[in-house]
Amino acid sequence: MPPTRALLLLTMLLSRAASFLAPLAIRPNRLLPHFTCAPCALFSSSSDLEEKIKVKGDEIRQLKETGLSKSDLAPHITELLSLKSSLSTLSSPPPPPIVDPGQAELRQARVDKLKLIEEGGARPFDYSFDSNVSAEDLHSKFEGKLDSGEDDPEEFNVSIAGRIMVRRVFGKLAFFSLQDETGQIQLQFDKKLLNEADADAFKNLKAWTDSGDIIGVTGTMRRTDKGELTINCRTWNMLTKAILPLPDKFHGLTDVNKRYRQRHVDLIVNPDVKATFRARAMITSSIRRQLDERGYLEIETPVLQSTPGGAEAKVRPAVGNTIYYILGVTILAFYTNSSLVAAFRNLPQLAKHEPHPAHRDGAVP
């Protein structure tokens, strides 16, 4: 067959494969029931597989008697070992998932605290809390004010909510570091002051809270003897009980793979990442605003599509966890040209593709 004709035939086959897989990817339940593990697909029971191993073993012994060389026997031995491995997989149950015992104990301890909170008549996951200020606002408002050890003479009533990042308890006094969207502020809990509104408030604070919890507090401002701007709390409320602890406060989250797979944890413990997200959003917003002011009209187009396009278009498979879906990169000019034909002018397009760093380095297949 001439090379040109063979290439044309191969292109047609790939095109038909793409048209067949596309609807299955949209409704994966049509495809998934047909996927089973290799041993189950080939053999209905372990007895069938044992019979196959026996036959293969007899075949290898007969080949040895005929004087077959080791290199020629190698494929048969490899097949026999594969069958034995399949038998082991089929007959033995899957191993239980590996769970870090330390992590499991910490999680269980926090789950137990959920029950303590409910038994105490409080909600571990409250519905709402009214805040009137942010951490950044407080630092700006009291910058250069209040000497060390001085309380706010105006007694400005502060109401703020955030996540506990650091928790330190010293007998009848406790200091927390609270983080909201804008930054961190220190909280001071004095047993005598806190128990004025609720006799069990300080006891519950020590028993119920952990780092990572989201709480709401009210109080007034002061500076500690060391000069740290602090909220002297009068009341507190549990808003969200964290079931898992935060990463180690000294080492932080340094595993790149985990940082990208657990973006929420990365944003909590790494302020620079949050600043990058905010800066990117502001840059994109600024670009859009300037283009809008100049009369441009932004259009949305797909970045990936199931139909290959372009003069030298090639089908590139994108692999999912379970099924294969044939996707191709969109040629943005196709959609732009269609809009231009429809009498639209000045059409900017913002497209994004940021591959995982682990994918770029080959750490993740």
Q: In the numeric block, which tokens belong to residue 166?
A: 């650091």
pLDDT value at residue 173: 94
Residues 243-270 have a mean pLDDT of: 77
Residue whose C-alpha is closest to residue 287's, from 209, 352, 357? 352
- 3-state DSSP call for residue 131? coil
Least confident of 116-125, 227-236, 347-356: 347-356
Q: In the numeric block, which tokens belong to residue 110?
A: 């926090």
- 3-state DSSP call for residue 209? coil
pLDDT value at residue 240: 94
Amino acid code (one letter) for 281: A
Distance CA 15, CA 11 (A): 6
Residues 182-205 have a mean pLDDT of: 92
Distance CA 326, CA 324 (A): 7
Distance CA 70, CA 77 (A): 10
Residue that is written with structure tokens 């993740």 in the block: 364
**Rg of the chain (C-alpha set):** 32
Residues 344-353 have a mean pLDDT of: 63
Residue whose C-alpha is closest to residue 189's, from 199, 181, 180, 201? 201
Distance CA 255, CA 223 (A): 37
Q: What is the mean pLDDT of the chain?
A: 76
pLDDT value at residue 204: 94
Residue 250 has pLDDT above 70, yes or no: no
Percent of the chain residues topping a pLDDT of 70:
64
Residue 128 has pLDDT above 80, yes or no: yes
Amino acid code (one letter) for 11: T
Distance CA 98, CA 129 (A): 39
Band of pLDDT at residue 297, cut at 50, 70 and 90: confident
Distance CA 309, CA 335 (A): 11
Residue whose C-alpha is closest to residue 181's, from 278, 64, 48? 278
Residue 50 vs residues 73, 85, 94, 280: alpha-carbon distances, Å: 21, 11, 20, 60
Distance CA 162, CA 170 (A): 22
pTM over 0.85, yes/no: no
Q: Tell me if 313 sits within 8 A of 333, measured CB to CB.
A: no
Residue whose C-alpha is closest to residue 248's, from 102, 134, 363, 84? 102
Q: In the numeric block, which tokens belong to residue 71?
A: 């290199």
26/92: higher pLDDT:
92
Distance of CA 8 to the CA centre of its chain: 43
Q: In the numeric block, which tokens belong to residue 8?
A: 């044309």
Least confident of 36-45, 100-109, 238-247, 295-304: 36-45
Residues 136-164 have a mean pLDDT of: 92
Residues 256-274 have a mean pLDDT of: 82
**Number of helices and strands (H, E) in the chain?**
13, 8
Q: Tell me if 205 sits within 8 A of 236, measured CB to CB.
A: yes
pLDDT value at residue 333: 61
Q: Tell me if 111 sits within 8 A of 157, measured CB to CB.
A: no
Band of pLDDT at residue 346, cut at 50, 70 and 90: low
pLDDT value at residue 312: 53
Q: Tell me if 90 sits within 8 A of 81, measured CB to CB.
A: no
Residue whose C-alpha is closest to residue 179's, from 256, 249, 235? 249
Residue whose C-alpha is closest to residue 219's, from 157, 303, 173? 157
Q: Where are the alpha helices (DSSP H) in 92-222?
A: 101-119, 135-141, 191-194, 201-208
pLDDT value at residue 203: 93
Residue whose C-alpha is closest to residue 315's, from 105, 52, 19, 57? 19
pLDDT value at residue 58: 87
